Amino acid sequence: MSIVSRQSLATSAVLITATEPEPRSFGKQVVLGGLLDHLCRRLGADRVHVVVIGRPDLQRSATSYHLHVVAKPSAADQVRAVATRVVLPPHSSLQEAALWSPRVLGDLRRVLAGIDADVEIWDTMRLGQYARALPRRRRVLYADDLFSLRYASMLERIRTDRTRLVNPLGEFGRLLPGPARRIAAQPWAYRPLLQLERWLTARSEDAAPSAFDGTALVSAEEAALLASRTGSSTIATLPPLVSVPAARPRRFDGSPTFVFLGGLDFPPNRDGLTWFLGQAREAVLAAVPDFRLLVVGRGSEHAMPAEAAAWGEHVQARGWVADLDDVLVTAAGLLSPLRMGSGTKIKVLEALGRGLPVVATPHGVLGLGVDRSDGCLVAATPQELARLLAEAAQAEPNGVLSRAAAAAWAERFSPAVAARAYDEVLGLSGQDRNRRVAGAAA
């Protein structure tokens, strides 16, 4: 899908988001960072703008692109919007209502008019709702993933496992006022809340394509699903543009050390790790007696699941790690035991980009369409995962899987491959601006 069939190539762009783009310390920031880096390469940093709905008083580092800050809605605005826009037309989802404010709309109108970019990129429906109330420009909705599927998978997890779901609303829960956040965290509240949000979010997802020149999702499967639900021909796949740094060569020494990568404040991450630690211990240690798991990510150093205690020294929390190569280049593989969620798993791309084998549940590699031929071993039960962990810990199979992972990265997921999709969907020239300028000067 291209949005440029009837329009000229873009020479400037603006991203509107509620996620702080810097520092790039978790998956969403990594994805936005890849997008911004690509825009700066293609257009020049002086022609790239970011509008953040956030805190004006936050100390932010300097950026090569232009950064504009619009104050987020006040608590009173949030309460008013949730009380009116969910129940009354336009029947917004809760996550949309929590970010709605007439004052923010006015600020966005003024800032975007001043920027006057050739293409606007609206980050998820939470921000995309504002686009419908603003003058029509060439614009793309970066929908990220289908939140309705994420909520459906969480509801299925609740149906099959009655254990408490921690932080059920995830990142968007942070947008809610404190009292609403505390209520939403209670088991008696979050199931009906998730059911309501699944329905409302699906309505917004289905209505979105008509308001944008293009709607982009990170998963090809989800893009196809939304296209079938809406009949729209303007839905495209925009895979994460993850730039794995020039990684140090793998130094796997045969030690059965695996890495779990992801912040434990994200419900699918915490749920998956808790499930694995609680259900797989006996099978894993029987298959791999000297198994070791390093848990890397925000929150792991002080908020590990209680189930980790039974593993003793077999499980170690590392917290936030600035350089992933420090833990990944010597590991036997990445463990991704997720049971719910949607979209594409950045952690798996981080592994494939380093030629690191992956052992995962089906949800742990969701949206990537990978299997053994891509260096990924996939199983659904603790017993099957234990068998695959034992296989990946052996030197010869590990080498085969490592080469398959590196090949999959190069052929399907590398920045060079993803960049072509970005150029097509966003209407970019496919040629770096610095190179164009140098060529013109010559």
Task: Please report, for the chain, the start and end positions of each structural domain, with discontinuous segments joined by +.
Answer: 13-238, 257-415
Residue with tokens 């499980």: 315
pTM of the entire predicted model: 0.85
Q: Name the band, by pLDDT with cuts 50, 70 and 90, for residue 438.
A: low
Confirm if 272 and 337 have CB atoms less than 8 A apart. yes
CA distance 423 to 429: 6
CA 34 to chain centre: 12
Instruction: State the chain's mean pLDDT as an integer.
Output: 87
pLDDT, average across residues 267-275 = 90
Burial class (CB in 10 A: 0-12, 13-18, 19+), 271: buried
Q: What percent of the chain has pLDDT over 70?
A: 88
CA distance 265 to 94: 20
> pLDDT by residue (tens digit) across 362-400?
999 988 889 999 999 999 999 999 999 999 999 999 999
Q: Which residue has the higher pLDDT, 337 or 369?
A: 337
Q: How far is 270 from 164, CA to CA, in rounded Å?
A: 11
- 322 or 195, which is more confident: 195
297: which DSSP letter?
S
- Measured CA to CA, the distance from residue 154 to residue 269 in angstroms comes to 12
Nearest to 101 by CA among 130, 68, 124: 130
The CA dihedral of 88, 83, 164, 269, to the nearest 10 degrees, is 80
- Per-residue pLDDT of 227-243, as tens digits, reads 999 999 999 998 888 87
28 versus 140: the higher-pLDDT residue is: 140
Question: For 102, how many CA atoms within 13 A lie in the half-sphere containing its CB?
Answer: 4
- Least Cα distance to 37 among 344, 418, 424, 413 occurs for 418
The yes/no answer on whether domain 13-238 falls in CATH 3.20.20.70 is no
* DSSP state letters, 22-83: SS--SHHHHHHHHHHHHHHHHH-GGGEEEEEEE-TTS-----SSEEEEEEPPPHHHHHHHHH
The answer to whether 97 and 81 are in contact (CB under 8 A) is yes
Higher pLDDT among residues 312 and 266, named by residue: 312
Least confident residue range of 166-170, 292-296, 299-303 = 166-170
Q: Are 163 and 184 in contact (CB under 8 A)?
A: no
Q: Are 223 and 236 in contact (CB under 8 A)?
A: yes
Give the model's pLDDT for residue 6. 46
Structure confidence at residue 28 as a pLDDT band (50, 70, 90): confident
pLDDT at 167: 57
Contact 422, 35 (CB under 8 A): yes
pLDDT at 70: 97
Q: Does 257-415 match 13-238 at the fold level?
A: yes
Look at residue 411 and tell me whether its pLDDT is greater than 50.
yes
Lowest-confidence range among 2-16, 229-243, 322-336, 385-399? 2-16
Terminal alpha carbon distance of the chain: 34
Better-predicted residue by pLDDT, 175 or 10:
10
Higher pLDDT residue, 85 or 440?
85
Which among 229, 196, 195, 193 is positioned nearest to 210, based on CA atoms? 229
Q: Quick one: pLDDT at residue 89? A: 86
- What pLDDT is attached to residue 345? 79
Residue 344's pLDDT is what? Answer: 65
Phi, psi (5° rounding) for residue 323?
-115, 105
The predicted structure's pLDDT at residue 155 = 83
Question: What does CATH list as the number for 257-415?
Answer: 3.40.50.2000
Instruction: Kindly give the interhelix angle for 382-392 and 267-279, rounded to the nearest 10 degrees.
Output: 90
